[in-house]
Structure 1
Amino acid sequence: MKRLLPVAAVSLLTLAGCVNTSPYSGDVYSGNQAKASQNVTYGTVVAVRPVQIQADSRTGGLLGGGTGALIGGVLGSQIGGGSGKKIATAAGAIGGAVAGTAAEDRANRINAVELEIRTESGNDIVVVQKADRQFQPGQKVRLIGSGSNVSVAPY
């Protein structure tokens, strides 16, 4: 049983990285955006910068932290005896939880692009979206949506 625990933990951490990245894409619409009127503004890309989006964990970090704590506790319990074993188990669980949470956070990062755009009205705006399309400075684009719900598409 103890030999299967690391395999199960790695499998769970892998699943933790399977986040839904479509909300960050300029090419994917949510159900409530379909058949809804949206504003369209035209502009020109001024600058492009690669960034990352830290997606929210669907498990609230519990999967990575919990799995890490479990593995760390099991590994820590292999050390020493008596009260030393209890301390090693607790330290292993705490260290495992921290490492598992960090691993889940890294798995939930999405490559994105920050686009600085000068609209035809002369305003400069910045939109961050998933890096699933190439944009270049000087490129004409359409800004679809408004407020905090804008995506950029080629013109």
Structure 2
Amino acid sequence: MNIKASKWVLCAGLLTIASAASAQHGYGPEDEGRRFDDGTRVVCENVEVQRNSKDPNRIAGTATGAVVGGLLGNQIGGGTGKKLATVGGAVAGGAAGRAIQGNHQVDNGDRVVEKRCVRR
């Protein structure tokens, strides 16, 4: 197969994937309980989701905690022990920073309950 034919095959494949993805149907609360011929039905449930957060993955808290923990760990020991304390401090600080930021986001109402409906 030449390069020109390969490009057409690739384009046709991408168009097929795109049309299949756009054919998926979203269901809302008004569809709850709707039954289909294949035995499936639409089921809705309340799900807690995060909204209005500038940093949903808590990267800033993790990075800040890791830097502070690494600096504090670097103050301990000497030689190989100092390196281990720095790494350990960075890991512990990153975990603590992530947890602190997560608690802050929960306290500030960044999580809301949303009704999501799927076909099962």
Structure with greater Cα Rg = 2
Query: How high is the TM-score relative to the length of structure 1?
Result: 0.37
Greater helix share, 1 or 2? 2
Greater strand share, 1 or 2? 1
